[in-house]
Amino acid sequence: MDNFEWQYGYSKRFGIVFIDYKTQKRILKDSAMWYKDLIKNRIME
């Protein structure tokens, strides 16, 4: 998920989940879907 970076604050976004700070809605990024597939199939492609 997004996190606080000491150098950039909250301006840089990291992680596998996008968070809309106004609504607190979480949206899975493409990397989250890739990670889900990796865990499910145990294969890296």
Greater confidence, 10 or 19? 19
> And the tokens for 13?
């976004």
Which amino acid is located at 3 in the chain? N
Mean pLDDT throughout 14-41? 92
How far is Cα 45 from Cα 11, in angstroms, rounded to an integer? 31
Mean pLDDT throughout 6-25? 87
pTM for the model: 0.63
- Band of pLDDT at residue 1, cut at 50, 70 and 90: low
How far is Cα 3 from Cα 1, in angstroms, rounded to an integer? 6
Instruction: Give 1-36 as a DSSP string.
Output: ----BTTTBTSS--SSEEE-TTT--EEE-HHHHHHH
Which tens digit of pLDDT belongs to each residue from 17-26? 998 989 999 9
